[in-house]
Structure 1
Amino acid sequence: MGSVAKPDTATTSTPPSAGRGSRKFYFFYGHRKPSQNRPVVRGGLFSNRKTLPSSAASAAAAAAAVAVLPAVDFRDWDPEHDIKAAPLPPSVPAADRRLSPLARYILDSLRRHRRWCPAVLSDLRKLRRVPPDLVAEVLRSRPLLDPSLSTRFFHWAGRQKGFCHSFASYNALAYALNDASRPAAADQLPDLMLAQGKPPSEKQLEILVRMHADAGRGLRLFHIYRKMRGKFGVKPRIFLYNRILDALVRTGHLDLALSVYDDLRADGLKEEAITFTILAKGLCRAGRTGDLLQVLERMRQELCRPDVFAYTAIIKVLASEGNVDGCLTVWEEMSKDRVEADVMAYSTMVSCLSKAGRVEKGCELFHKMKRKGLVIDRAIYGSLVEGFVAEGRVGDGCRLLEMMVDDGYRGDLGIYNSLIGGLCAAGRVDKAHKLFLIVIQEGLIPSFETVTPLMSAYADTSDMSKFFYLVNQLVELELPVLDHISNFFTFFTSKGGRELKALEVFETLKTKGYFSISIYNILIERLHNIEDGKHAHALFEEIKCSKDIQPDSFTYNLIIPCFVEKGDIRYACSCYNLMMENSWTPSTEAYCSLVKGLCKIGEINAAITLVKDCLGNVTSGPMEFKYALTVLNTCRLKKPEKVIEVLDEMIDEGYPLEDIIYCAIMYGFCKYASSGEARKVFSVMKDRNLLTEANFIVYEELLNEHLKKTTAGLVISGMKFFGLESKLRWTSNLD
């Protein structure tokens, strides 16, 4: 009837470990017609497998591949094989140890070659067939080295004869495309499923909605929802509608969420409590209190009364938006529904009212809580104390602190900081210092907000003995004293008018050895803001002469504009060169001041070079610099009218015509055309009253000087090219 064929050694070779288990032979009935992708079967109960090449070239390539690639023992990849006898090597990733052996085999091939190539196809052809479950397992084992491998492998599996993808493989591909940041491709999967005879269901919509919701893609989520509903007739259930509504509300698309809610009602679905809560949150963020009340009324009629959790969530959203009137309106609605507010609802309301400057209303709720016997947490006390301090009622805040201590609570650092700041602002520095001592006794670590108001108060009154007493206490507590002093100078000079007083305090601190480069930078910045270049230069000279500290990049960024305003452009450029030597990137303000200063002294070439450096180093350069390069490129056309069009665009966009723009015109036309075109542009701008007569004369002189420098540079370059440097030196010696 048949015969047992010997295994073909040309296609598979039996390794030495073949005796570990029995071979699995395939059972066939009769003769099967050979093809390129099917083995030759000559009948019999058991048969060998031979590959039928399509041509002589493919046969030669197959023979070469067999000669190069080692034989594969498929028993090692058999899912039913006992893998306990041969444990996995340590090189196998931990994420792949849960996979089946065949899935690991495919993943190893894909990761080894890193792209879709004939070598991968050769490895895949060694498998008799890749079922849909194996395809899904491979696609779920993300990430691959190349995201395109997922789609290539998916389509290759679909081209197997008699193969049909399952819903699991489609879903796995959707996750793979989403992880590869290709949401548009993932949205096309429902069309692919329909084309391959698998109409998409609600599950596919749920997967896409979950992916877009997690990534915050509200518009794309709404698009796929409309597509699945209109084109494929998928009607979501209520839980999926809730997820769509929540994603649209969180991404700020309230109108789209309301349209989805209309579809929900049109489908005849019954809303849940979470549905109304989601809509209420969206309306709260939009400030639509009237529509919010309508939603609450609909919830009462069609479902049930909102509970305390729903009301608390609504109040939290309104409080985060600063809508105090809306919070009070919802609070009244809660009273009408006879819903008892819990501690969380009271805490949210008291905090909202205190921050909004309605601390009296917050106190009423506070006393109402005490009458009801509710547990009042420390957050409520803290919000009320901050509210009293903000209104200047520091005494009421102190009494509330005493009440809190009587109730068995310990004051936290935030409450003490608020009271210390309020007492210092009210001139009660002695009481503020007592609170500071209480902070230390309580074992709390003072922060900047604790120490800075006291330091500022002592500095205002020139009471340096108490100032240094406070500094010594910080030293005893092993706190970063210089950081506290730096924060003090930032706070002290922020109000304005205290710069000279800050210099006096700093002079005293230097005698005690308390100074750092950050303190110098803070003072230089404030002095530059008030245009006090004299003291700023003096501080910079102190830094350069000091052996303990050295200027940093921030110091140079601050001092360069000071020297430019002083008129010492050369020294400002030397500071810039020092920054380049240290590989520091100047700030945009330093670049702008340097370019402006170089334009004023006629160093146009250096100014254009700095413009290019700025746009190459700074993330977002000034628009004037970008337009300057646009002018340079337009000058290549040798048409003044084109340059005038660029200037008109600048004026329309609201950008002023700075000196660098006119210098770019001089540089560009002198380099690519002639000075006559630049003069034409200046004349047109003067005729339009965009350039005054005085500025026209100044720019014309700058143009003549730049033309002379350009000509002299060309002459010197020519003499160097012809080897006449010696004559050039001889002429200079005669001069």
Structure 2
Amino acid sequence: MPPAPNPTAKPYFYYGHRRPSQNRPVVRGGLLTNRRSHPIPNKPTAAPTAATNFLQWDPHAPAPASPPPPSSVPASLRRLSPLARFLLDSLLRHRRWGPPLLSDLSKLRRITPHLLTELLRHQPPPHLPPDLLLRLFHHASRQKGFRHTFASYNALAYALHRSNLHRSADRVPDLMLSLGNLRPTEKQLEILVRFHSDAGRGLRLYHVYSRMRGSAFNIKPRIFLYNRILDGLVKTGHLDLALKVFDNMNADGVQLEPITFTILAKGFCKEGRVEEAIEILERMRGEVCRPDVFAYTAMVKVLTETGNFDGCLRVWDEMARDGVEADVMAYTTMVSGLCRDGRVDRAEQLFREMKGREGMVIDRGVYGSLVEGFVRGGKVEDGCRVLKEMVADGYRPDLGIYDCLIRGLCEDGRVDKAYKLFQVLVSEGLTPSLETVTPFLVAHVDAEDMDRFFKLVDRIEELHLPTMDHLDNFFRAFVGKGERELRGLEVFEALKGKGYHSVSIYNTLIDGLHKNNINNKALLLFDEMKGLKNLELGSSTYNLIIPCYVDSGDIREACACYNKMKELTWIPSVTAYCSLVKGLCKMGEIDAAITLVKDCLGNVTSGPMEFKYTLTVLNACRSRDPEKVVGVLDEMVEEGYLLEDIIYCAVIHGFCKHASSVEARKVLVVMKSRNLLTEADFIVYEEMLNEHLKKTTASLVISGLKFFGLESKLKLISSTY
């Protein structure tokens, strides 16, 4: 009897390759190549752990770090099946549809709908072109006997949406009809509605809804999907379209829900149509049920966000008439909104009513809103009374409440009482912020009490707070209120003697001095900054000093600062560009001003409209038609823009370059006849036109002499004279 064959010698998938056949080709390459069985290593036996002694257990000890997973494959790829990983690997390697990719696909016997769905649902890398997934989808459709499932169609819509191909995702239901095996259902409409609703595309949402409800698809959504469509349209500000959808709901005989009326009421409140919101609530009361507290709270919240507090009170009275008891959220929303609007007395009435209700837990933010409202209205004593009541009720004030009261007391001249609050704040372990210390510094400077000012600066250092940050915030708050620039400059001189100075403080003072036309002091500060070695001037300093030089009449120094910024590859601000262009126009340097306009529009994302119209005027001058240029100027006047110097300089520059000075003079005459140009300005621009024409002619003559090589004769003539 012959011996039995060895079973391990038989070729098997795990030990080698099967014999290839027509229906079972050999898979080579990718993640499925040459699978072999590996012996499972014996796990080392762990040493017995000692018994835990709970008496020595420390609850604050850090937890031991868990070891990282042994596999180096990303978690997103570990969730895929081996065949899906093979397909993804092929797509990433080839990155384009062609014979190499088709060769890899032919190694698989078949691409099943489940495999296709798994690959489409996977989040592809950013560098994977989305057209590859579409080609793969159509390649699978051409397989013999292949039928897509709802899951594969939905996965295709998700993949297209991730690739920002929203219009292509909307055509997936049409693809289902064209392939003919499945008909789109409500689920496909829900997916598209969710996409557009989450992305805020209300018009696209309504377009998809109209197509799916049309005769081609004839889908009648249920109430939950109708509510989602209404909510998406209302959130994106398309209330008129939401009302059309609501009419379709009534035509389809859909049983309405309370949330449907609530969504429409929120939409009316968002548009400020409170009476229509009350009417929709009345219809809700008659057709479905009485509006609950959640519906009223949602309306109050929307009206508060839009600042319609009269509508808030109207809805609140309607809620009381309806017999609905407000909850904590409704009271909190109303009290906070009324305090922001300055109606603190009405907010306090609601607060007392809220405290009188049993079982209501008042949020600490309600106390803070009342305190801030009283302080803003100048009633600091009432704010302190609310603080005492808050502490008596068992609440601990936060730093914002303390800061608000300290600011109010310092502005009211009661610095000593504010200091008591400051001591309480420090004793409770709260760290004073910039808003805590700045009111004290401002009050001491206003009272000309520099001793207490410097004592407070020393106290800031004792508390290990950032002293320079507090001083920077003080100068921003002090210089920005009233004409305090000279007083702030005196304080800064005293601080410099103690070693307190920074670029931010210099910039704040320069900006304040320039706004009050004290440019000589600002320029002295800038010269002082350049003399200090430990200060590094930034682009913000040059952006502030360029307008100072222009307003003081020193255009050359302003241009020097601009050139310095260009050397350091800094981009000037729009304000610096505008002031420099204005100064160059006053000097008659039209070519340089036009160059700066082009440079500004090339470097700044949103340049001024006057600069954009300057380029429009230059383009209109190419036609050599004064009427076309006058039409551009009329458009500027209609749009409400002023005809600045750069506009008239553009007229002079454009016509002198593309036509002659006659056309430019015609435009100036038309502007003068329409009273858009005074007699004095007309004379100034006419002289500017003559000077620019002389410069242009001289430059052309010099260019011609250089072209013919006659520079030596030009130098000889100039030397004789």
Most deviating of 215-224 and 695-704? 695-704
Please give the residue correspondences for 1:296-315 in structure 2 after superposition, counting only pairs within 5 Å. 296-315=281-300
1:113 aligned partner: 94
2:403 aligned partner: 417
2:212 aligned partner: 228
- Which whole-Å deviations, capped at 9, do the CAs of 1:210-235 have from their partners, x for residues lacking one? 11111011111111111111231111
Aligned match for 1:346, one of 319, 327, 331 = 331
Q: 2 CA distance for matches of 1:134 and 1:595?
A: 65
Please give the residue correspondences for 1:21-170 in structure 2 after superposition, counting only pairs within 5 Å. 23=18, 72-73=27-28, 77=32, 92-144=73-125, 145-170=128-153
The secondary structure found in structure 2 opposite 1:585 is coil
2:235 aligned partner: 250
Q: 1 CA distance for matches of 2:570 and 2:600?
A: 12
1:212 aligned partner: 196
Structure 1 unaligned blocks of 5 or more = 1-15, 27-38, 40-46, 50-70
Paired residues of 1:78 and 1:102 also in contact (CA < 8 A): no
Q: 2 CA distance for matches of 1:304 and 1:660?
A: 66
Sort the Cα spacing of 1:74 and 1:576 in 2 relative to 1 into closer, same or farther, 3 A. closer
Q: 1 CA distance for matches of 2:636 and 2:441?
A: 49
Paired residues of 1:147 and 1:177 also in contact (CA < 8 A): yes
Q: How far does residue 733 in structure 1 lie from its aligned partner after superposition?
A: 4.7
Sort the Cα spacing of 1:93 and 1:412 in 2 relative to 1 into closer, same or farther, 3 A. closer
Sort the Cα spacing of 1:412 and 1:727 in 2 relative to 1 into closer, same or farther, 3 A. same
Q: 2 CA distance for matches of 1:633 and 1:357?
A: 52
Answer yes or no: is 1:186 the counterpart of 2:169.
yes
Answer yes or no: is 1:516 the counterpart of 2:502.
yes
The secondary structure found in structure 2 opposite 1:701 is helix
The secondary structure found in structure 1 opposite 2:339 is helix
Q: 2 CA distance for matches of 1:367 and 1:627?
A: 59
Sort the Cα spacing of 1:677 and 1:299 in 2 relative to 1 into closer, same or farther, 3 A. closer
Most deviating of 420-429 and 666-675? 666-675
In structure 2, give the amino acid aligned to 1:321: T
Q: 1 CA distance for matches of 2:605 and 2:538?
A: 21
In structure 2, give the amino acid aligned to 1:190: P
Q: How far does residue 84 in structure 1 lie from its aligned partner after superposition?
A: 8.3
Per the normalisation by structure 1, the TM-score is: 0.85
1:500 aligned partner: 486
Q: How far does residue 208 in structure 1 lie from its aligned partner after superposition?
A: 0.2
2:447 aligned partner: 461
Paired residues of 1:595 and 1:607 also in contact (CA < 8 A): yes
2:611 aligned partner: 625
- Which whole-Å deviations, capped at 9, do the CAs of 1:151-196 have from their partners, x for residues lacking one? 2222232233433322222111111111111211211222222122
1:357 aligned partner: 342
- Which whole-Å deviations, capped at 9, do the CAs of 1:445-491 have from their partners, x for residues lacking one? 11222122222111111111111122111111222222222222222
- Which whole-Å deviations, capped at 9, do the CAs of 1:661-689 have from their partners, x for residues lacking one? 23223333333344444344444444555
The secondary structure found in structure 1 opposite 2:159 is helix
Q: 1 CA distance for matches of 2:338 and 2:688?
A: 64
1:196 aligned partner: 179
In structure 1, give the amino acid aligned to 2:582: K
1:649 aligned partner: 635
In structure 2, give the amino acid aligned to 1:225: Y
Paired residues of 1:604 and 1:663 also in contact (CA < 8 A): yes
Q: 2 CA distance for matches of 1:221 and 1:397?
A: 49
In structure 1, give the amino acid aligned to 2:113: P
Per the normalisation by structure 2, the TM-score is: 0.87
Paired residues of 1:596 and 1:659 also in contact (CA < 8 A): yes
Q: How far does residue 505 in structure 1 lie from its aligned partner after superposition?
A: 2.0
2:547 aligned partner: 561
Q: 1 CA distance for matches of 2:394 and 2:83?
A: 66
Q: 1 CA distance for matches of 2:251 and 2:704?
A: 85
Aligned match for 2:157, one of 156, 160, 174 = 174
Q: 2 CA distance for matches of 1:375 and 1:626?
A: 58
Q: 2 CA distance for matches of 1:117 and 1:85?
A: 40
Structure 2 unaligned blocks of 5 or more = 1-10, 42-68
Answer yes or no: is 1:318 the counterpart of 2:310.
no
Q: How far does residue 599 in structure 1 lie from its aligned partner after superposition?
A: 1.8
Most deviating of 390-399 and 356-365? 356-365
Q: 2 CA distance for matches of 1:75 and 1:120?
A: 12
Aligned match for 1:448, one of 404, 421, 434 = 434
1:35 aligned partner: none
Q: 2 CA distance for matches of 1:657 and 1:371?
A: 63
Sort the Cα spacing of 1:300 and 1:127 in 2 relative to 1 into closer, same or farther, 3 A. same
Sort the Cα spacing of 1:262 and 1:572 in 2 relative to 1 into closer, same or farther, 3 A. same
Tell me how large the CA RMSD over aligned residues is: 3.1
Answer yes or no: is 1:576 the counterpart of 2:562.
yes
Paired residues of 1:486 and 1:519 also in contact (CA < 8 A): yes
Sort the Cα spacing of 1:517 and 1:652 in 2 relative to 1 into closer, same or farther, 3 A. same
Paired residues of 1:78 and 1:101 also in contact (CA < 8 A): no
Query: Number of residues paired by the alignment?
Result: 679
Q: 1 CA distance for matches of 2:124 and 2:189?
A: 23
Q: 1 CA distance for matches of 2:14 and 2:500?
A: 82
Q: How far does residue 74 in structure 1 lie from its aligned partner after superposition?
A: 8.0
Q: How far does residue 690 in structure 1 lie from its aligned partner after superposition?
A: 4.1
Q: 1 CA distance for matches of 2:380 and 2:502?
A: 35
Paired residues of 1:354 and 1:387 also in contact (CA < 8 A): yes
Please give the residue correspondences for 1:525-536 in structure 2 after superposition, counting only pairs within 5 Å. 525-536=511-522
Sort the Cα spacing of 1:277 and 1:694 in 2 relative to 1 into closer, same or farther, 3 A. closer
2:15 aligned partner: 20
- Which whole-Å deviations, capped at 9, do the CAs of 1:605-629 have from their partners, x for residues lacking one? 2112111111101111122222222
